[in-house]
Each structure stands twice: as C-alpha cells, then as structure tokens.
Amino acid sequence: MKDNLVTIFGGGGFLGRQVAQALMARGARVRIAQRDLANSVKVKALGNLGQTQFVAANIRKPDTVARALHGSDIVINLVGILSGDFDAVQHEGAANVAKAAAAAGVTALVHVSAIGADANSPSAYGRSKAAGEAAVLAAFPNATIVRPSIIFGQEDQFLNRFAGVASSGPVVPVIGAATKFQPVYVGDVAEAIANAAQQPGVFGGKTFELAGPQVMSMKEINAWVAKAIGRGDKPLVEVPGAFASLLAMLPGGPITRDQLAMLGQDNVAAPGAPGLEALGVAPTPMAAVAERWMVPYRKHGRFAGRVKA
C-alpha cells in the first residue's frame, strides 16, 4: 500500500475520514474527491506532509470522475444519500465511478453499498443500492462490494441523534421499535475497507456484509442510549405505524416516507454471509466505545457521576 495513490469519492465525510486515516497509516497517498470540499480539510491533519490531495468531483458527472481518479492505483466509492434522487447517485453515480476506474486501469475498486440492498426492496434507497452494485460489477467485475449495517461512531447521525432526543423531552419516542439492526463501528468498517483495497487478489469480486456483534431492536438501541446518558428512567414510547406514516408526510419531519419503508425490514447480516472477520477485523461492541462520546448528553456533562451498569 505504501505510496499507492488511493482516490476516495466521498472521503471527507463521517466514514471517509476514518477510511483515509486507515489508508494513510499504511503509507498510502490519499486523494479526497467530492462535490463540496469544505469539510475535507479535516483529513489533511490526519496524514503526513504531502500525503493528502483534494479534488472537486461530482459522481453524477462522468468527466469530473475521470479527472479525479487520473493516475490512481486504487479507487473507493463511499458516496451515498438518505434522501433525494437515489438512482442518480447510488446507481448511475456508482456506475460512473466503476466505468472510469476500469478505463483508468486501477488495480482495485471498493464500492460501499448497504445491508438492505435489494432489487425488490420496498424502499427506493434499497433498490438503488442494488442497482448500483450490479452496475459496478458489470463495469469492474473484480470490485469488492461491502454492505455495512447502520454505522455508529463519535460523529454519527445515529446514536447522537437518539441521545439528543433522550436528553431533551419527557419521553423517548421510538419509530420502528421492533426493527432489528446490527450496528457496526465506523473504525471497523474503515479497517475492513482498507484491507479489501490492499488485497484485491484475495477480496476482489466478493461481497461482504459488515455488521457488529449484537443484534438489537430499535427500541433496545434507544433504551441503551438513554441508560448510557443517565436518562434510563425516561419512558420509551412506541410510535404507532399510522402516526409514523403521518409524520413521514410532513416536510422536514423526523422521518421520510422512504426511511419509514426501510424500517419495515430488519437491517442485519444474512446468515452465513462473510463479514468483518473475513476481512480480518474483529467486531467492536457498541458499549466498548460509544459511552465516551455520550458524556455531553448527560445531565451534568462530564461532571456527571459514572453511569452504573
């Protein structure tokens, strides 16, 4: 990996910064390619002098994609959205990256999809992810596909969002309370992606479902968060499906119609699917790392007493 140039589309985001750090620790040069480079400068401090590059690129525009990966040895596509034109970004955009990577003759391509990618998914998100995977493999058959479950980490919009809700109101409303997840730690996902990128001869052409060691329902996750911030006494209120549907119709509401559709299915790894261990990474339990960044949500912040197990 030393001195290889790795172009990461979406490398300035929550997962991207972790992936960049994992690659730079192995001696790679990293080029961050994304539409808005404002947040990408955070990556610069993670590496040594001259180890990072930045280029503006929009995966919906093939010419910018080709320019961004010119001279690259390895390409990683992390770009995804939770609302908007899913097909344009997660299908057509993914195809643009894979076609450009094949034309450039790069040695490895890692494409980040999601558990729940399914051509028959009730959500447009899931269908677009499946179409993206198919397009990537059609253009670059030796690509590695990784499908993470919902990712947690210090800067996530998952545990932090639930902690914000639990710390503010008299009750904790829970939408999709029974839906099951296998939350996976962002550092584990980053290491798995770096391992896949480093060894295309071993991992190329394969699909991996990256999930944590625990299967938890949405209600159980919210209960864990509430307890971790010292708010375990707050009632958890399951939001009825009909009311959740009404909320999903509100502009700027807490959930979109497509996200509600996604909550209709569990988000766990398929039985027997190769995962983190197959990529050389031991899954990190949520409780082992998450409590340390839950501190600001406690009643007295870092001055609060230790939460009892």
User: How do strand 216-217 and strand 180-181 relate by DSSP bridges?
Assistant: antiparallel
For 293, other C-beta atoms within 10 Å of its C-beta total 17
User: What's the residue count for the chain?
Assistant: 309
* Amino acid at position 232, single letter: G
Distance from C-alpha of 59 to C-alpha of 37, rounded to nearest angstrom: 14
Distance from C-alpha of 219 to C-alpha of 223, rounded to nearest angstrom: 6
Distance from C-alpha of 221 to C-alpha of 73, rounded to nearest angstrom: 40
Encoded tokens for 48: 């040594």
| Nearest one of 173, 167, 183, 169 to 221, comparing CA atoms | 183
Q: Are 65 and 98 in contact (CB under 8 A)?
A: no
Distance from C-alpha of 67 to C-alpha of 209, rounded to nearest angstrom: 31
Q: Are 251 and 178 in contact (CB under 8 A)?
A: no
pLDDT on residue 309: 47
This prediction has a pTM of 0.93
- Residue 50 or residue 291, greater confidence: 291
Distance from C-alpha of 116 to C-alpha of 67, rounded to nearest angstrom: 32
Distance from C-alpha of 259 to C-alpha of 272, rounded to nearest angstrom: 27
Give the model's confidence band at 46: pLDDT under 50 very low, under 70 low, under 90 confident, else very high.
low
Q: Give per-residue pLDDT as tens, 83-118.
A: 999 999 999 999 999 999 999 999 999 999 999 999
pLDDT on residue 11: 87
Tally helices (H) and strands (E) across the chain: 14, 13
With 0-12 / 13-18 / 19 or more C-beta atoms within 10 angstroms meaning exposed / middle / buried, residue 116 is buried
Distance from C-alpha of 89 to C-alpha of 110, rounded to nearest angstrom: 16
Q: Give per-residue pLDDT as tens, 290-305.
A: 988 898 898 765 555 5
pLDDT on residue 251: 87
Q: Are 170 and 226 in contact (CB under 8 A)?
A: no
Q: Give per-residue pLDDT as tens, 205-262.
A: 999 999 999 999 999 999 999 999 999 999 999 999 999 999 999 988 889 999 999 9
pLDDT on residue 13: 87
- Residue 61 or residue 39, greater confidence: 61
Q: For domain 5-152+183-210, give its CATH number from 3.40.630.10, 3.40.50.1000, 3.10.450.50, 3.40.50.720.
A: 3.40.50.720
Nearest 5°: CA angle at 147, between 145 and 152?
135
Distance from C-alpha of 304 to C-alpha of 236, rounded to nearest angstrom: 22
Distance from C-alpha of 233 to C-alpha of 290, rounded to nearest angstrom: 20
Is 90 exceeded by the pLDDT of residue 12? no
Q: How far is CA 198 from CA 22, 73, 109, 190, in A?
A: 11, 10, 10, 12
Distance from C-alpha of 147 to C-alpha of 130, rounded to nearest angstrom: 10
Q: How far is CA 57 from CA 50, 133, 290, in A?
A: 20, 21, 33
Average pLDDT estimate for 36-54: 71
Q: Are 172 and 234 in contact (CB under 8 A)?
A: yes
Helix (H) or strand (E) holding 180: strand 180-181
**Taking the alpha carbons of 60, 141, 181, 227 in that order, is the dihedral positive or negative?**
negative
Distance from C-alpha of 100 to C-alpha of 104, rounded to nearest angstrom: 6
Q: What is the mean pLDDT of the chain?
A: 92
